[in-house]
């Protein structure tokens, strides 16, 4: 089975930039999506097709994917960005999620 | 965009059965592929099952194969998950989510319901 690995936690100061990584074997050959889940809420799609943002998602969220690593970048982090972030891909007719990264904005 | 509401979660003993439902108040449910995704308390997201827009194709994670069955009724805009032989490790919030193909090897979830809690315990 295919595995995606994320760091359990990251922290960032308000207004600074944070990068959340997602690693997998030859991940750059697959398409990656990212989701934000605030405490007590359902997940929300942030990024799809590695780099694309759905309408309504602020442009401070961006994505990239190359080699074995996909990256979600939050530029100018805000207090409202404190949440869990999950990467996701599709492999052999199954959906794979990363373990999630808890972002603290302090 | 789908407007999804999951329901049916409750306390059930090990070995028991439960059927979850997910309704969509939108207008294009029959065009959407649908999924169940679960989240155990304090844990991450875990995909459970997929069903194509007309219900002819289903996929499952290995740990639920042979125990869970996904189905849908497009005439009523409803998605179901029949869960049998439930185990403690099935305890989780279960979300329904619509998905979109973005290529032959690309799939993502564009709308999520609010989740329903299933607790498997004696």
- The alpha-carbon gap from B73 to the nearest alpha carbon of chain A, in Å, equals 23
- Is the confidence at residue B1, as pLDDT, over 90? no
- Which of B107, B111, B116, B117 is best to mutate for the A interface (most A CBs within 10 A)? B107
pLDDT at B2: 73
**φ, ψ (nearest 5 deg) of residue A60:** -75, -10
pLDDT of res. B72: 98
Q: List, for residues B93-103, the tens digit of each pLDDT value.
A: 999 999 998 87
Judge contact between B113 and B96, C-beta under 8 A: yes
Average pLDDT of chain A to the nearest whole number:
96
- A58: which DSSP letter? -
d(CA B7, CA A94): 24
Say if the Cβ atoms of A45 and B109 lie within 8 Å: yes
Chain A residue closest to B57 (CA)?
A93
In this complex, how many residue pairs, one in chain A and one in chain B, have their CB atoms less than 8 Å apart?
65
The pLDDT score that the predictor gives to residue B102 is: 83
Check residue B26 and give its pLDDT. Answer: 81
Q: How far apart are CA B101 and CA A84, in angstroms?
A: 24
Whole-angstrom distance, CA of residue B37 vs CA of residue A96: 11
The rounded percent of chain A whose pLDDT value lies above 90 is: 96
Digit-coded pLDDT (tens) for B55-87: 999 999 999 999 999 999 999 999 999 999 999
Query: Quick one: average pLDDT of A30-52?
Result: 96
Among all residues of chain B, which has the CA nearest to that of A29? B105
For residue B105, pLDDT over 90 is answered with no
Q: Tell me the C-alpha distance between B114 and A5, whole Å.
A: 26
- Tens digits of residue pLDDT in B17-55: 999 999 998 879 999 999 999 999 999 999 999 999 999
Contact yes or no for B106 and A31 at CB 8 A: yes
Q: Is the model's pLDDT at A23 over the cut of 90?
A: yes
Residue of A43, A83, A95, A96 to mutate, interface with B, max B Cβ within 10 Å: A95
Between CA A72 and CA B103 the distance in angstroms is: 21
How far does the CA of residue B105 sit from the closest CA of chain A (Å)?
Answer: 6
Per the rule left: phi > 0, alpha: psi between -120 and 50, beta: everything else, B88 is alpha
pLDDT-derived band at B4 (thresholds 50, 70, 90) equals very high
């Amino acid at each position: 089975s295919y595995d995606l690995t994320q760091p359990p936690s990251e922290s960032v100061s308000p207004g600074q930039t944070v990068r959340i990584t997602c690693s997998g074997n030859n991940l750059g050959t697959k398409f990656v999506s990212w989701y934000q889940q605030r405490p007590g809420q359902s997940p929300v799609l942030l990024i799809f097709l590695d780099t694309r943002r759905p309408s309504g998602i602020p442009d401070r969220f961006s994505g990239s994917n190359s080699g074995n690593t996909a990256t979600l970048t939050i530029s100018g982090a805000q207090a409202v960005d404190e949440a869990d972030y999950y990467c996701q891909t599709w492999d052999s007719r199954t959906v794979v999620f990363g373990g999630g990264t808890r972002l603290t904005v302090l | 965009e789908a407007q999804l509401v999951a329901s049916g979660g409750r306390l059930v003993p090990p070995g028991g059965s439960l059927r979850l439902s997910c309704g969509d108040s939108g207008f294009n449910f029959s065009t959407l592929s649908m999924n169940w995704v679960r989240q155990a308390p304090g844990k991450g997201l875990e995909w459970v099952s997929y069903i194509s827009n007309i219900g002819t194709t289903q996929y499952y994670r290995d740990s639920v194969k042979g125990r869970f069955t996904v189905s849908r009724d497009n005439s009523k805009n409803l998605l179901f998950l029949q869960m049998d032989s439930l185990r403690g490790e099935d305890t989780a919030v279960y979300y329904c989510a619509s998905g979109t193909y973005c290529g032959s090897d690309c799939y993502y979830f564009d709308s999520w319901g609010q989740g329903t809690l299933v607790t498997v315990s004696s």
